[in-house]
Amino acid sequence: MSDPKENQHSIKDNHQTFTMVQELACRSRFEEHSHNQNRFDIIAHIPLEIVSLIILAIDSVSDRFNLLDVSKTWRNVISECSSPWNEITINGSLVARRNKWRISLLPLINQHIIKLNLFKIKDNSLCESIYSQMAQGEFKKLEKLSIRECSTPSDPTIFYNALSATTALKHLDIKRDFDFMHNNVQERINISTILDHCSTLETLSFSGLSVPATVDVIINDTLSTNDSLTTLELFLYKISSYQIEHLLCKCTKLRRLTLSGVTHSTMGVITRLGTNLEFLNFNTTFNPKIYDDDINNNIQRNETQSLLTELVDLSSALSCTNTRKGRSIRHVGLSISSGEGDPIDFTSFFLKYSPSIRSMYLDMWSKKNDEFGESVGDEFDVGWRSLANASRFSDLRSLYIAPDEALCSMLAAPLIQSAPNLRWLTFSEYFVGQEFVSVIVHLDHLQRLEFNAYYISDIDIQALFRALATKQDSTLEEVSFRTVDEAGTYLSVNDILPFLPHISTLRQITFTCLLGEALGKRSLLQLCKDLRSHLNIRSIRLEELDCIDDEVLHHLARIKNIEHVHLEYLEGITRTGFTDAFENTSIQVSVEDCFY
């Protein structure tokens, strides 16, 4: 065997051969490097529009962030895509190092972020890092900032400066436990400062129900006139009438006001200064969009032209300001209780605004006994009756009413009687008293009637539907029954069902959460048989019922004019029975969470 040293020496001596070997080695390394680059950075040759669609197909925001760390080319290309980064959520429940890494990448994409959600971030430094980036003006497109249960900045000026620099911000949502610690002293949250620092803000929602009594929300005299804020939601531990008055005076464009944690005395301020408001929510969960959405769904199911007109009316009421002084409030949610003050505080409000109100959520509780067992209700009877006398709801279209038993006849019935143009009526809590029967039957425009209650008098509701079944020129198109088993009682509809086929204008029937004896299979089968010749019935919705099986589906499918059936949370039906019932029909069937 030859000596390796001799071979090496001979190669070096042959300069041409040595140079060729070096060139081949360099070419091999270059080709391998080029292959790797083409393999990883082929994204550089794809149009941004296609890249954006690919990234949008990735549901996990975490996986989208991972794409920024593949290579420098990937980072440059992906960071230029806009739509995948329009909404970003930083969730504090994730591993801390992952959040730090994600926040460190925000400068690459913050120019695209329109909505930023901060959720349960307990690390103070992480929050301050985000606010610092905002303060530098890097979030140029940010329109909505949502802060939920996050750590508080060590200095409130960091947060305020972030708001000042975010010139496109329109919606700010702060929920719970967001108070400032400065020099080891818990500072009050200054809404005046927030509004002054963010002049473009249109919606401010603040929830501080868990804030201790020592912490207040300051709305002080330093608040400048604000002509951009249109929606204000305050869910607070406490807020004074003076602060509400100051807000109404300074926020000249305010149209939607939601207050929780306020006393009845605040109504005096709202009555006097709320002439520009269109929507008022007072200690309730009322949202007028519920009515709009449901009416819209109803139109899709029934194609009812009259309800289409109502939707247009409601939408225009939300978007347009009524210029008539003192008659601008169109949508109201009120919680009135004898235990929280005298109901007479609302009398002036009803006198002034009831003629213009179009939709209302009214929760009323006479509260006969306080927390010490002392009677407190009787002395307020004058206040309740004054509300009934003050009601002139000539423009009211939608009413959700939740009275206790004592107020059914004292206030609820007279209030409904004062609303001759009512289209949509929903009962919650109690339905007791013959007064209701006469009042409802004489509503000449009623189209939708709902019962969402845990105590309803069988005698009264049977009398009501007996009268509706024989009413000439009926306008009723929908009925809905739902039980709430909070008090161990049920709404039984078995004795009501025979009257429904005799309501000639009826187009939709809904049964929800009627369990056990509340709705029997035999009664439902008979209803299906009676509806076969009904001329106008188009839709039936069955939700959370234990009496539904394949036999019921078979009878549903045989209703002549039925067009839509909705089935939800029904454990008694099978796929085979479902297919056999509807396979050869033109009925549109929507199914959710069935076939267990």
Look at residue 446 and tell me whether its pLDDT is greater than 90: yes
Q: Give the model's pLDDT for residue 29.
A: 59
Look at residue 262 and tell me whether its pLDDT is greater than 50: yes
| Separation of alpha carbons 299 and 282, rounded Å | 30
Q: Give the model's pLDDT for residue 374.
A: 47
Beta-bridge partners for 145: 116, 172
Q: Give the model's pLDDT for residue 327.
A: 45
**CA 450 to chain centroid:** 21
Q: Which amino acid is at 104?
A: S
Bridge-based pairing of strands 279-282 and 231-235 is unpaired
Look at residue 305 and tell me whether its pLDDT is greater than 70: no
Beta-bridge partners for 369: 375
* Cβ atoms < 10 Å from Cβ of 260: 18
The least confident of 85-99, 114-128, 208-222, 402-416 is 208-222
Average pLDDT, the chain: 78
Does 323 or 149 have the greater pLDDT score?
149
| Separation of alpha carbons 470 and 228, rounded Å | 53
Tokens 């086929």 belong to residue: 501
| Separation of alpha carbons 33 and 511, rounded Å | 68
Among 165, 159, 170, 216, CA closest to 193? 159
**111 contacts: CB under 8 Å, gap ≥ 6:** 138, 139, 140, 141
Strands (E) in 166-239, as ranges, are 171-175, 180-182, 185-187, 189-190, 203-207, 217-218, 231-235
Q: Give the model's pLDDT for residue 196.
A: 86
120 dihedral zone (left: phi>0; alpha: psi -120 to 50; beta): left
| Separation of alpha carbons 558 and 564, rounded Å | 12
Q: Give the model's pLDDT for residue 331.
A: 92
Q: Give the model's pLDDT for residue 292.
A: 38
Does 75 or 25 have the greater pLDDT score?
75
Band (369; pLDDT cuts 50, 70, 90): very low
Look at residue 297 and tell me whether its pLDDT is greater than 90: no
Task: Answer for the pair 527, 500: CB distance below 8 angstroms, yes or no.
Answer: yes
Q: Which amino acid is at 302?
A: N
pTM listed for this prediction: 0.75
Look at residue 385 and tell me whether its pLDDT is greater than 70: yes
b (16+ CB within 10 A) / e for 505-534: bbbbbbbbbbeeebbbeebbbbbbebbeeb
Q: Where are the alpha helices (DSSP H) in 434-547?
A: 434-441, 458-469, 521-530
Look at residue 172 and tell me whether its pLDDT is greater than 90: yes
Task: Answer for the pair 67, 74: CB distance below 8 angstroms, yes or no.
Answer: yes
Average pLDDT over residues 348-370: 81
Among 438, 277, 300, 288, CA closest to 356? 277
Average pLDDT over residues 352-377: 71
Band (213; pLDDT cuts 50, 70, 90): very low
Look at residue 306 and tell me whether its pLDDT is greater than 60: no
**489 contacts: CB under 8 Å, gap ≥ 6:** 454, 455
Average pLDDT over residues 74-81: 78
Backbone angles phi, psi at 152, to 5 degrees: -100, 145
C-alpha distances in angstroms, 131 versus 97, 165, 526? Answer: 18, 10, 64
Among 512, 503, 510, 513, CA closest to 475? 503
| Separation of alpha carbons 128 and 135, rounded Å | 10
Cα end-to-end distance, the chain, whole Å: 80
Q: Give the model's pLDDT for residue 560.
A: 92
C-alpha distances in angstroms, 524 versus 236, 319, 540, 568? Answer: 47, 43, 12, 16
Tokens 């089968």 belong to residue: 525
Task: Answer for the pair 391, 350: CB distance below 8 angstroms, yes or no.
Answer: yes
Does 324 or 404 have the greater pLDDT score?
404
Backbone angles phi, psi at 247, to 5 degrees: -65, -45
The least confident of 101-105, 460-464, 522-526 is 101-105
**CA 441 to chain centroid:** 33
Look at residue 36 and tell me whether its pLDDT is greater than 60: no
Band (566; pLDDT cuts 50, 70, 90): very high
**516 contacts: CB under 8 Å, gap ≥ 6:** 490, 546
Q: Is the dihedral of CA 569, 573, 578, 581 positive or negative?
A: negative
CATH topology for the 86-254 domain:
3.80.10
Band (479; pLDDT cuts 50, 70, 90): very high
| Token pair listed for 35 | 């292959």
Band (539; pLDDT cuts 50, 70, 90): very high
Q: Give the model's pLDDT for residue 468.
A: 94
Band (543; pLDDT cuts 50, 70, 90): very high
Average pLDDT over residues 542-560: 93
pLDDT, tens digit, 9 for 90 and up, residues 57-73: 777 777 777 777 777 77
Look at residue 136 and tell me whether its pLDDT is greater than 90: no
The least confident of 176-180, 276-280, 378-382, 471-475 is 176-180
| Token pair listed for 88 | 């970003």
| Separation of alpha carbons 383 and 366, rounded Å | 10
